[in-house]
Amino acid sequence: MPYKAYRDINKTLEIRACDTTIEDTKKTFYCSTKDCKALMTLVNGGDSERAHFRRRSSSPKHSSIFCSADGNFASTEYDESQFNFDDISTKLIDPPSKPKRKVGKGTATLTGGGGKKSISTVHQIYCMCRKYDTYNNYLSNDILADERNFARYRNGIVGNKIVQCTPYHKFKDEFAYKMNYPSFPYPNGKHIRLNFSTEKLFWEYYHKFKDTNHKDLIIVLGNWTSSQSNGEYIAECTINSSGQIHFLKNENSIL
Ligand SMILES: [Zn+2]
């Protein structure tokens, strides 16, 4: 569900969904990706929080996986002022050692506010970053490394970040997986390395990655360190918990 499109077929007049009016809902728009032939329609035009574009069902298919990578961030469901990326990262990367039996139980939120919750998953953070440049004073560019800021991160990724990537292959004789960043195929794309804290977790993802044909986008939250690999990969992190990885495949396949 993209948040940008063009008004004209020559793709010179870019329009953001949040800047549209109700009248625009009747119009045809053009996919924001260069050379993509998809025709777009506007959903919730005039509603700056909920407006987004969608491919017309009769239109040609999107040319790139990035056309619809934005997902759908339902901003009105979350309390922006409670968003704290550092706290969420710590919780997801180093979860309490005792396994939780009920999802969501005991996740106390800050007092005050109208009962709306904070963003709590990697996928929600990703969709937020694809929609907004800033959120609760965080810069999306500081949180998410994807194809849009590849120039900034292509030589290294450090600290708590979400990285958009696709699976490449297992490291021989190691419980680690090499990924393509930011996608595959991608001109001069880079590799990153995922280490797994347990053999069990590694094999769980090994089988999931095997099913992706190298092209399905995956997002990974990690505490990244730069690599000593002489260019084989630019950064690595350790996966301790399934909360750090999300497959975007399902959202993309329906759009
Ligand atoms: Zn497209």
Fold of 143-253: OB fold (Dihydrolipoamide Acetyltransferase, E2P) (2.40.50)
Ligand 1 centre distance from Cα of residue 55 (Å): 8
Ligand 1 centre distance from Cα of residue 200 (Å): 38
Burial class (CB in 10 A: 0-12, 13-18, 19+), 112: exposed
Please state the pTM of the whole predicted model. Answer: 0.86
In the chain, CATH 2.40.50.140 covers 143-253
Count other Cβ atoms within 10 Å, centred on residue 155.
11
Mean residue pLDDT across the chain: 90
Dump pLDDT digits (tens) for 154-180.
Answer: 999 999 999 999 999 999 999 999 999
| Local structure of residue 183 (DSSP, 8 states) | -
C-beta of residue 33 within 8 angstroms of C-beta of residue 14? no
Q: Name the percent of the chain lying above pLDDT 90.
A: 79
Pairing between β-strand 218-226 and β-strand 245-247 as defined by DSSP bridges = antiparallel
Q: How far apart are CA 154 and CA 132, in angstroms?
A: 22
- Segment among 21-30, 75-84, 111-120, 144-153 with least mean pLDDT: 111-120
Ligand 1 centre distance from Cα of residue 10 (Å): 14
- Which tokens in the block code for residue 237? 């992190």
Ligand 1 centre distance from Cα of residue 64 (Å): 6
Ligand 1 centre distance from Cα of residue 101 (Å): 41
Ligand 1 centre distance from Cα of residue 17 (Å): 15
